[in-house]
Structure 1
Amino acid sequence: MSFVDTFKYNSGFGNEHCSEAIVGALPKDQNTPQVCPFNLYAEQLSGTAFTAPRAQNQKTWLYRIRPSVSHLPFQPYSTKSKILATFTSDNTVITPNQLRWSPFELNTQESVSFVDGLYTIAGAGDASLKSGVAFHVYMANCSMTDSAYQNSDGDFLFVPQEGTIVIQSELGFLTVAPNEIAVIPRGIRFSISLPEGLSRGYVLEVFNGHFELPELGPIGANGLAHPRHFLYPTAAFEEKNTAFKIYNKFLGQMFVAEQNHSPFNVVAWHGNYSPYKYDLSKFNTDPSLFTVLTCKSNTPGTAVADFVIFPPRWAVQENTFRPPYFHRNCMSEFMGLIKGEYEAKKDGFLPGGASLHNCMTPHGPDAKTTEEAMKANLKPVKVANETMAFMFESCYIVSVTKWAFNDCQKLQNDYHKAWIEIPSKFANKSA
């Protein structure tokens, strides 16, 4: 089943956007009025401290039918998800080995929405300290109904691999298909519908900071992802007075609260703290830079997390080994495949699966790819045709959840064999 995206969007990364579903719903000046137009309630959503520098300050004013505080108390919710927001030696597996997973299976035996379909693969840090990252996969087969999800722990970056998702947020709708991404900042309530019935994908979560575009520097003004290609929702409210559930991921635990109206009742909004989407096919690949979005750390040039893609591109270098070279990295690298065949791993790395090469864990092209690359005729060639691989890269040393290491039964125990047959070709010409 195909799904046609009929929603309207604002464009421009990080811009201050204004949107109203009813003309005149936005107040005309900066001050919060005593009585808002149409008797709406004003509510500010702050993604940074009030006193953050202007260039980093993120906030949005919402003008809504009822404020978000109008709900019953949150109660613990027993979710089927396996999620973590604090990573310790007690609740994870610590290993320096190269790890790879076969495609994660979609559950078709029972109804599973996004609320119960999120599973943590690996991560580091502690959401309570607003420091760290988590790498997740999601697998769902039904839409959320009369419910919303709120992540209090960090920002979500969605990478659908199979099945379009429609995200209804407090600020409006986003339709996100495979080969697109979406970011839902911390605290924004959203619901996920599945117009195609099944959906699987990956989620990068950052506990500190927010995603931004990387600096361009010497590569010039027009490389990588262009700000105008990032799309933001337009206001779309529903005046729905019925039983509604708000699910809250709070320090890795799930809670639920009930209320008698829809949380998607924002008639107008303005600000720069909002969900957004991006089409990966619009990325302008530089020969050595593949970063779409970055979440900076306090160390210049080092990221809490980078979202990196390896899209179709031309390889034209001369006198070189063209596949990704063998290396050990102070950063941790989690990779997934949306579609196609990754050029450095011809076998075993499949769409819907994943790999993890942790801090200083050696990795590189497999034996077959290495041998072919050393014999290749170095003419210009299009690589990664019909392929989209990606990486979540982080400065943190991550540990692996027990679900990912044991319970999901998708970990490939023979992954090390990808390199074990690489022969010695040493020729000592001085002998």
Structure 2
Amino acid sequence: MIRLRARLHIPRPIKRWLPTSLFGRSLLIIVLPVAVMQIAVTWAFFDAHWDTVTSRLSEGLAGDVAWAVESYKDDPSPAALDRLAERAQDSMDLSIALQKGKSLPAGKRNSLFRVVDRSLNRALSDRLDAPFWFDASGDHYPAHVDIRVKVPQGVLRIIAPRDRAFATQGHIFILWIVGATLLLTAVAILFIRNQVRAIERLADAADAFGRGIDQAAFKPHGAREVRQAAQAFLAMKARIQRHIEQRTALLASVSHDLRTPLTRLKLEIALAEPSPQLEAMARDLSEMEHMIDEYLAFARGEGGEEARQVLLRPLIEGVCEGAVRSGAKVELSIGDDLTAILRPNAFKRALANLIENAAAHGETVRVSSTAAPAGGVWIFVDDDGPGIPEDRHEEAFRPFNRLDESRNQNEKGVGLGLAIARDMARGLGGELTLQKSPMGGLRAVLRLPG
């Protein structure tokens, strides 16, 4: 059976504006449909109900205005105008006054809701034959509508309550809609945040465990699926810890078993009569011991050592002094207050490998460090040797690869120094890369978390 899987394609410009976090996407999934629904309901309300009610009210007000204008035209005397104004005030709540010799205003005032202007203008145009002007904004007369009609004697001004022109309770509906949307959004934020926090804690615990930091206080919580993922993580963490403990015990036993015969051989050579053959055997034993040390260091990895915040200068100075005693020429430039999260013994072993590798292929080694812009520390190990072609930088990190074609062969090395150093850096959440050195050789860039 062939299954066809449909996939919604979102245009790239829209993707740039979409949230990338789980919290943002979950909130968007919940809030966006609610907002669209509220907008649709509001539009339907104003289009089907509020507009209809406003049109009916405007038509009724326009009819009363037309009656008042026609009544005044039938008898424009002051006495008749007084009677008309009194009757309109009592029965229609309209205030009527004559502005003799006046003309209609030139400008037009727009109200907050354009539908009011359209409805009232349409109703007055249908009922009145004379020119007219109206102001429904309420700037001069709050909660009232100012209507002016041109008559031969001047302008007949009619002031009417606003609720006679349109439904004034529409804003209450909008407030309810907005309030409900805000309430639903707040509830969604509260519940989504609680679910996302459980996933964030699981991610933090996994990241910390990957860097060798054990968060003993972590416990599964949150939704059922998140708890299942957390329990699976704890089970995996326990299996990995048992494996590390078993491997550490095995390596300790192997180290002891291998060093015992080596020690006996070295002792026998030391007690024997000196000869060129014995000197060659001693060199072979020394090389064998060095190779075993590198193999065990590579296999040991983290070795169960806890990562912690450490001041870098004493560690780096100790490694550089050891390299100088071995005959390397090392220049040191490092700040006094730089710190990083690392495993001290693993870091010293990795840095010693980098310095030893640089010293084996160059005359001068320079070790420097600086604070990284995004947090953490950069440590640079430069040499003035032949370097490595850029297209073979990644190849240099492969275990047991010495790149003899591009650099002089290190007789004591087995091609594990860079692999051990990168394994240490990545185990802490950092990285080790290679670049061309300003000294002309190779630069190793070790980035450590701060």
TM bucket normalised to smaller? under 0.3
Higher helix share: 2
TM-score calculated relative to the size of structure 1: 0.19
Higher RCO structure, 1 or 2 (CA under 8 Å, sep 6+): 1
TM-score calculated relative to the size of structure 2: 0.18
